[in-house]
Amino acid sequence: MTDPLYSILIAVIKAVIIFAVILQIVPLLVYFERKISAWIQDRIGPNRVGPIGLLQPLADVIKLAFKEDLTPQGADKWIYRLAPVLVYAPAVLAFTVIPVGIDLQVASFDVGVVFLLTISGFSVYGLAFGGWASNNKYSLLGGLRASAQMISYEVAMGLSIIAIMMTAETVDLNEIIRQQWGSGTLGLLEWNLFKQPIAAVVFIIAAFAETNRLPFDLAECEAELIGGFHTEYTGLKFATFFMGEYVAMITMSGLMVTLFLGGWSVPWVEIPTSPSMVDMALSIGFFSVKLFALLFFYIWIRWTLPRFRYDQLMGIGWKVFIPVSLVNLGLTAVAGVLGWKWLIPLP
Amino acid sequence: MANPPGAREEKQERKTATTDPRKKASFTVPVAKGLINTLKHILRREPNTIHYPDEKRTPYPGYRGEHRLKRDELGREKCVACFLCSTACPAHCIEIVAEEAPWDDREKRPRLFNIDMMRCIYCGMCEEACPCDAIELTPVFNIPSRTRAEKIYDKEKLLSL
Amino acid sequence: MANNPTNDSAVSMTKWQLNGQEVENHAGMTIMEAAKEHGIEIPCFCYHPGLSIAGNCRICMVESNRSHKPVISCSERIAEGLEIETDSEVAVDARNSVMEFQLINHPLDCPVCDKSGECVLQDHSYAHGPDRSRFVEDKNIRHTKELGPDISIWGNRCIVCTRCVRFCDEISGTSELCIVERGDRSVVDVFPEIPIDNQLAGNTVDICPVGALISHDFKYEARVWNMDRIDSVCGGCSRGCNIEVETLDGFVKRLIPRENLDVNDWWMCDEGRYGWRHLYADDRITQATRDGAEQTDSAATDALEELLSESGPVAFLIDPFLTCEELHLVQGLAASRPGSKVGGWLPADGTAASFPSGFQISAAKYPNRSGAEQVFGDQVFGDDAKQLQKSLLSNGFDTVIAFCGGHQSTGPGDSWTQALANTATRIVFSVMNGPWLEGASLVLPATAPIEKEGTWINEDGRLQRTRSCWNPGTDPFAVELVRLQALQHALGLRGRSLSAAGVFRELAAANTAFSGHNHSDLGSPGLLLSERPAAVASDGGTE
């Protein structure tokens, strides 16, 4: 058990499994996105490739793989090639610290939350580089918007996470989850969603902005910027951008589940002292259900809301969310001193 | 008489509500309404579209699709090569070369009658212009081909449709 | 104010009223012509300015104060105090009634009629005709037959205006046509066994206001509204009849005469009319060849330059089809090579003809002998040519540039072919293939007369401008005008290439015979070379 080789092997196996699972979730997510958007718009959606269109994402990937790989004239070649990787890699890397089952994560950190914030902050480089290196004014505008937007919302997001850390008095994600494990009938009320509702709302909206999803996809903005930072990207480079975005979505959802929705915790039962395989499977299952519910929420929002104007986006970010988060921090501090479990007093 | 002042007030109120910048910034209610609306569509699932190649819609009467040339009761083409269709054609997609007809009841017939279906805009002006009711736009709308050459319909093809 | 600005005090003027306005015209004019001078067109079928007045179609009726019935304006003449209404109720009613009568037996087969689009009956029917017929009885059937080798009649369409009959009586003087039968059965016909095949017969088709007379040459070829028209001049003989070239998608479909009262009135001969088929003949030269190998156009121009830059004095053999502009360019080349000689060949004479109306066909079957003589001197086809032939036969030149253009494929003749064969380097511009091209070093495609852009001088000394019909079979940049300028440019004789008008300006500056003229002053009727435009004449002339 203490053999370092053994622990390395375990880490590698976990990494490969997580990596593979995430990669498999992406096409599934693309399929869901297309299907749900079709339902919202009273269409049928993909149904030609494979049973009920399940192989459509595969067909898309094959199509993208066979597309001509263009590099625009005057592009900064190395940065141009680097950009999609810089978007994709941090998103995958960030997922490594998210526990998907009872104490199950690729890399167990005491400072998981901080690591996650740091790494996911990197993806802004990918967008900015992509926009800059394409030698296209629309791409550049897209890249600039992406960086400005992500920097702004990272503040609000960080502040709402700090509120959680204040409540939990720890930055270990597994510990945060354990604190949300409620065994009673009202066990769900132990979730940070109810303990820290303001932080939850701020976090989820900031997450939309962080992942460049509608209604905050001003960096892509097909109508004005023709795709923004990825205007000039084709084939597999574009696919990498695309996957990076979806993985970021999964990571953000995972983080949200962990921080606010109880993570892998199984409600209404006691915390097992030594988890069995059943417990493990149950916890993974609960985590997945919550994850997919959030992903559905992402998609649902995307096909409901129109895109915000840039000034509205910035206005909400700086003039609403940051003050609200700061006030929330104050309230949390007061509640902490008073010994309240919930920010809003509940029975 | 009691209504007008109240109605006016209401109207004004609504007006200020839509132009008040403070109210403009509140998205909560519209967003919630929108989400409920789209959720209804997801749950209801009544697609307005059809599975096109499997199910085909019957075109409405007067639908203008693929052209054809008509034959008279003796099986000869009705067309007398008057060029009125090519003259009326706004896309200049009809090419005709006339020749002397071998029959007694008419003078001319087309030796060549080509329609460039890729250039055609399916406006039906040719049908409208034809004095002999010889050209017609059928309701056939799915007319793909593998080459561009196939999209230029000659007289034989048009007569066989 | 409304007076004819060209009126002359020597000619007496008549004051009369047209649609309530006091107007003045030369005495003795018909109402129709006088009204036309004041911008009022009165419809007509049988009236033609080149023919006698028949007054049988009645469409031109107008209301007059001198008659209780409407009068026909084509034959009624103006008089002092005459008051004419062209659009009064009476006049309009008369016109409409005549139109309705004309359409009673007309088959209305416009969709298949070749006249459709340029048909006078069609135009007037739009303007004055009823939109439906009240005639419920069966229409008359009249004969459809060949009247001659080139002309057929569709009797049903005939409105018996007798323009064609009068043409054969008065203009060609051959009188083949007549009206047979009576009343609504009357129709144009020929006498038995005597077809209409005079040299001007094609004009009857042009003047027919409906589609009754149809030319076999143009039958079913094209609809007239699809064709492009170019104002050109016939190169068939030295008369230089003014013509319009009508093309469809760039291909010539027919030639029709253009009014020029100083040259051809409204007519042209059939020889010229049908003399364009050689443009698309199989033995037309369309490709430049060097020693038998095909060349691109730019390569051919390079080859021309290469052959000329190596040579000493050059012999130039010109033809009488070249425009004055092309001749000027040839002269420039000849002048740049001391010892060069220029001579010309002439095609064999054809038969001349003249007609009662004064219309003439020249025996000289080429358009620009006078132009060549103005540029190179009177003897270019005479003694100069003889000397050139002699020195060619005695190997006097190692390089010759020959122009063998024209629309006939007879070429410059055996003696010239022999003389050319004696020269080592032969460069031949030719329209048709023939024995004169055998063994040529460089063969270049030449333009046929109606493809040329420039000016010709007819046998009366009239300078006329002809415009090129675009031929999709030939490269527009391979015409002699462009090729010769490219050669001059390559040899350092010219800064940049010019249009035909630009070359003509150079010619006018270099040659006193042309001085003072330019393309835009020539207008459509052309100018006699001896007449100077007013501006130059007032300068005292440059001669």
Is C220's CB within 8 Å of B132's CB?
A: no
Q: How confident is the model over B117-124, as a mean pLDDT?
A: 92
Between CA C498 and CA C77 the distance in angstroms is 52
Question: Residues with Cβ < 8 Å from B68, sequence gap 6 or more?
Answer: B135, B136, B138, B158, B159, B161
Say whether both C447 and C350 belong to one domain. Answer: yes
- Whole-number pLDDT of residue C423: 86
Between CA C133 and CA B147 the distance in angstroms is 50
CB-closest option in C110, C220, C226 to B108: C220
Say whether both C128 and C71 belong to one domain. Answer: no
Task: Decide: B and C in contact? Rule: 3+ Cβ pairs under 8 Å.
Answer: yes
Q: Pick from B130, B92, B97, B94: which is nearest to B112 by CA?
A: B97
Cross-strand pairs, C444: C429
Is residue C467 a part of any domain in this protein?
A: no
In what helix (H) or strand (E) does residue B128 lie, and over which residues does it extend?
helix B125-129
Q: How confident is the model over C161-166, as a mean pLDDT?
A: 94
Does A174 or B110 have the greater pLDDT score? B110
- Whole-number pLDDT of residue A341: 66
pLDDT band at residue A261, thresholds of 50, 70 and 90? confident
3-state secondary structure C168-235: HHHCCCCCCEEEECCHHHCEEEECCCCCCCCCCCHHHHHHCCCCCEEECCCCCCCCHHHCEEEEEECC
pLDDT band at residue C2, thresholds of 50, 70 and 90? very low
Is residue C63 a part of any domain in this protein?
A: yes
- B52: Cα separation from own chain's centroid: 17
Is A44's CB within 8 Å of B51's CB?
A: yes
Whether pLDDT at C455 is above 80:
yes
- What does the DSSP assignment read for C9-66? TTS-EEEEEETTEEEEEETT-BHHHHHHHTT-PPP-SS--TTS-----S-TTEEEETT
Say whether both C44 and C87 belong to one domain. Answer: yes
Q: What is the mean pLDDT of chain A?
A: 83
- The per-residue b/e assignment along A276-301, b for 16 or more CB within 10 angstroms, e otherwise, is eeebbebbbebbbebbbebbbebbbb
Is residue C34 a part of any domain in this protein?
A: yes
pLDDT band at residue C166, thresholds of 50, 70 and 90? very high
Q: How confident is the model over A260-276, as a mean pLDDT?
A: 77
Summarize pLDDT for C96-134 with one digit per residue, the tens.
999 999 898 898 888 889 999 999 999 999 988 888 888
- Which of these three, C226, C244, C260, is where a domain ends? C226
Stretch among A194-208, C155-169, C502-516 having the lowest mean pLDDT: A194-208
Say how many CB pairs under 8 Å bridge A and B: 38
Chain A residue nearest residue B41, CA to CA: A40
Between CA C158 and CA C46 the distance in angstroms is 12
- Whole-number pLDDT of residue C539: 44
pLDDT band at residue C254, thresholds of 50, 70 and 90? very high
- Whole-number pLDDT of residue C538: 42
Is residue C98 a part of any domain in this protein?
A: yes
Q: How confident is the model over C158-162, as a mean pLDDT?
A: 92
Say whether both C65 and C146 belong to one domain. Answer: no
Tokens describing residue C31: 């109402």
pLDDT band at residue C5, thresholds of 50, 70 and 90? very low
Q: What is the mean pLDDT of chain C?
A: 88
- Whole-number pLDDT of residue B26: 66
Cross-strand pairs, C25: C14
Mutate to test the interface with B, among A198, A302, A305 (most CBs of B within 10 A): A305
Rounded to the nearest angstrom, the minimum Cα separation between C121 and chain B is 18
Say whether both C24 and C45 belong to one domain. Answer: yes
Residues of chain B in contact with residue A304, where contact means CB-CB under 8 angstroms, are: 31, 34-35, 37-38
Question: What CATH number should be reported for the domain whose range is B67-160?
Answer: 3.30.70.3270
Chain C residue nearest residue B81, CA to CA: C112
Is residue A268 a part of any domain in this protein?
A: yes
Whether pLDDT at C314 is above 80:
yes
Whether pLDDT at B103 is above 50:
yes
Q: How far is CA C292 from CA A12, C439, C506, in A?
A: 79, 8, 36
Rounded to the nearest angstrom, the minimum Cα separation between A63 and chain B is 20
Please state the length of chain C.
Answer: 543
Summarize pLDDT for A162-188 with one digit per residue, the tens.
888 888 878 888 888 887 877 766 767
Does C8 or A46 have the greater pLDDT score? A46
- Whole-number pLDDT of residue C7: 47
B98 touches chain C (CB under 8 A): yes
Whether pLDDT at C268 is above 90:
yes
Q: Pick from A67, A73, A158: which is nearest to A121 by CA?
A: A158
Residues of A with CB under 8 A from a CB of B: 36, 38-44, 47, 300-301, 303-305, 315-316, 320
Say whether both C98 and C114 belong to one domain. Answer: no
- Asked whether the beta carbons of A87 and A127 are under 8 A apart, the reply is yes
- Whole-number pLDDT of residue A197: 83
List the domain range (segments joined by +) for residue A81: 4-338
Is A44's CB within 8 Å of B39's CB?
A: no
Above pLDDT 90, what percent of chain B?
Answer: 36
- Asked whether the beta carbons of C13 and C58 are under 8 A apart, the reply is no
Say whether both C499 and C352 belong to one domain. Answer: yes
CB-closest option in A40, A305, A316 to B41: A40
Residues of chain C in contact with residue B98, where contact means CB-CB under 8 angstroms, are: 220-221
Rounded to the nearest angstrom, the minimum Cα separation between A38 and chain B is 8
Say whether both C396 and C424 belong to one domain. Answer: yes
Q: How confident is the model over C128-148, as a mean pLDDT?
A: 89
- Whole-number pLDDT of residue B85: 92
Rounded to the nearest angstrom, the minimum Cα separation between B40 and chain A is 8
Is A300's CB within 8 Å of B38's CB?
A: yes
Residues of chain A in contact with residue B38, where contact means CB-CB under 8 angstroms, are: 40, 300, 303-304
Rounded to the nearest angstrom, the minimum Cα separation between A295 and chain B is 15
Q: What angle do CA C390, C392, C394 make, to 5 degrees?
A: 70
CATH 3.30.70.3270-classified regions of chain B? 67-160
Q: How confident is the model over A135-164, as a mean pLDDT?
A: 86
CATH of the domain at C68: 3.10.20.740
Q: How far is CA A151 from CA A82, A145, A163, A322, B25, in A?
A: 21, 10, 19, 12, 22
Is B41's CB within 8 Å of A42's CB?
A: yes
pLDDT band at residue C94, thresholds of 50, 70 and 90? very high
- Whole-number pLDDT of residue A218: 78
Between CA A62 and CA A50 the distance in angstroms is 14
Q: Which of A66-75, A109-118, C16-25 has the highest mean pLDDT?
A: C16-25
Q: How many domains does chain C have?
A: 3
List the domain range (segments joined by +) for residue C39: 13-102
Helices (H) and strands (E) in chain B — how many of each? Answer: 6, 5
Summarize pLDDT for C171-202 with one digit per residue, the tens.
999 999 999 988 888 999 999 989 998 999 99
CATH of the domain at C131: 3.30.70.20
- Asked whether the beta carbons of C479 and C453 are under 8 A apart, the reply is yes
- Whole-number pLDDT of residue A342: 63
Q: Pick from C372, C340, C324: which is nearest to C480 by CA?
A: C324
> Which letter does DSSP use for residue C397 in this model?
-
Above pLDDT 90, what percent of chain C?
Answer: 49
> Which letter does DSSP use for residue A211 in this model?
T
- Whole-number pLDDT of residue C443: 92
Is residue A173 a part of any domain in this protein?
A: yes
Whether pLDDT at C524 is above 80:
no
Above pLDDT 70, what percent of chain A?
Answer: 95
Q: How many domains does chain A have?
A: 1
Rounded to the nearest angstrom, the minimum Cα separation between B110 and chain C is 10
Q: C413: helix, coil or strand?
A: coil
Q: Does pTM surpass 0.80?
A: no
Q: What angle do CA B2, B7, B10 make, to 5 degrees?
A: 135
CB-closest option in C110, C112, C225 to B108: C112
- Whole-number pLDDT of residue C408: 65
Does B14 or C350 have the greater pLDDT score? C350
Whether pLDDT at C414 is above 80:
yes
Above pLDDT 70, what percent of chain C?
Answer: 94
> Which letter does DSSP use for residue A308 in this model?
P
Residues of chain A in contact with residue B51, where contact means CB-CB under 8 angstroms, are: 44, 47
Chain A residue nearest residue B36, CA to CA: A304
> For residue C400, which phi and psi values (nearest 5 degrees)?
-135, 140
- Whole-number pLDDT of residue B112: 92
Tokens describing residue A23: 């990669």
Stretch among A311-325, B21-35, C218-232, C423-437 having the lowest mean pLDDT: B21-35
Q: What is the mean pLDDT of chain B?
A: 83
Q: Pick from C334, C367, C394, C97: which is nearest to C243 by CA?
A: C367
Say whether both C74 and C136 belong to one domain. Answer: no
Mutate to test the interface with A, among B40, B41, B44 (most CBs of A within 10 A): B41
Between CA A164 and CA A255 the distance in angstroms is 12
Q: Which amino acid is present at B23?
A: K
Q: Pick from A320, A330, A346, A335: which is nearest to A194 by CA?
A: A346
Is residue A346 a part of any domain in this protein?
A: no
Q: Pick from C52, C18, C51, C48: which is nearest to C35 by CA?
A: C18
> For residue C300, which phi and psi values (nearest 5 degrees)?
-65, -40
Between CA C98 and CA C121 the distance in angstroms is 11
- C246: Cα separation from own chain's centroid: 11
- Whole-number pLDDT of residue C273: 92
Is residue A221 a part of any domain in this protein?
A: yes
Q: How confident is the model over B91-99, as a mean pLDDT?
A: 91
Whether pLDDT at C157 is above 70:
yes
CB-closest option in B25, B31, B41 to A305: B31
Rounded to the nearest angstrom, the minimum Cα separation between B46 and chain C is 53
Summarize pLDDT for C62-81 with one digit per residue, the tens.
999 999 999 999 999 999 99
Q: Pick from C217, C214, C231, C279: which is nearest to C252 by CA?
A: C279
Q: Give the number of other Cβ atoms within 10 Å of residue C158's Cβ.
A: 25
Summarize pLDDT for C318-340 with one digit per residue, the tens.
999 999 999 999 999 999 888 88
Summarize pLDDT for C340-381 with one digit per residue, the tens.
899 999 988 889 999 998 899 999 999 999 999 999 988 889
Is residue C301 a part of any domain in this protein?
A: yes
Is B83's CB within 8 Å of C226's CB?
A: yes
Is residue A343 a part of any domain in this protein?
A: no
- List subunits contacting chain B, requiring 3 or more Cβ pairs under 8 Å: A, C
Of the CA atoms within 13 Å of residue C315, those in its CB half-sphere come to 32
Here the ipTM equals: 0.76
Whether pLDDT at B102 is above 60:
yes
Say whether both C80 and C184 belong to one domain. Answer: no
Handedness of CA C350, C351, C352, C357 (dihedral sign): negative
Beta strands at C425-430 and C399-404: parallel, antiparallel or unpaired = parallel
Chain B residue nearest residue A46, CA to CA: B51
pLDDT band at residue C278, thresholds of 50, 70 and 90? confident
Cross-strand pairs, A311: none
Residues of chain B in contact with residue C221, where contact means CB-CB under 8 angstroms, are: 98
- Whole-number pLDDT of residue C474: 61
Between CA C510 and CA C393 the distance in angstroms is 32
Summarize pLDDT for A73-123 with one digit per residue, the tens.
888 888 888 888 888 888 888 888 888 877 777 777 777 788 888 887 888
CB-closest option in B31, B35, B46 to A42: B46
